Amino acid sequence: MKTQHKRYDYRGRIERGCGKDRPDFKWTEGYSETLPDGTVSFPWLTKSEARKEASADGKRAVFYRSGKPE
């Protein structure tokens, strides 16, 4: 049985908090799911967040940049 996946395309840089003990913010790569019909979903996610989202749906996250898998 082939593993199902969710496609996440690179969208740009996003800002995330550094954590509870550090009030700083950092910039990181942002991805969002691209549905089979080409629809872009929101919000943009970090790779870690995208992996968790895909895993919760029983799928594997596959990341794309410039139309090619990373």
Residue 13 backbone dihedrals phi, psi, to 5 degrees: -85, 145
As beta bridge partners, residue 14 has 28
pTM: 0.84
- Does residue 29 surpass a pLDDT of 90? yes
What are the pLDDT digits (tens) for 8-21? 999 999 999 887 78
| Host domain of residue 31 | 5-69
Sheet hosting strand 68-69, strand order edge to edge = 25-33, 5-17, 60-65, 68-69
What are the pLDDT digits (tens) for 36-69? 898 999 999 999 999 999 999 999 999 999 888 8
Residue 17 tokens, joined: 């908090």
Indicate the SS3 state at residue 18. coil
- Does residue 25 surpass a pLDDT of 60? yes
Query: How many domains, the chain?
Result: 1
> Looking at residue 1, what is its pLDDT?
54
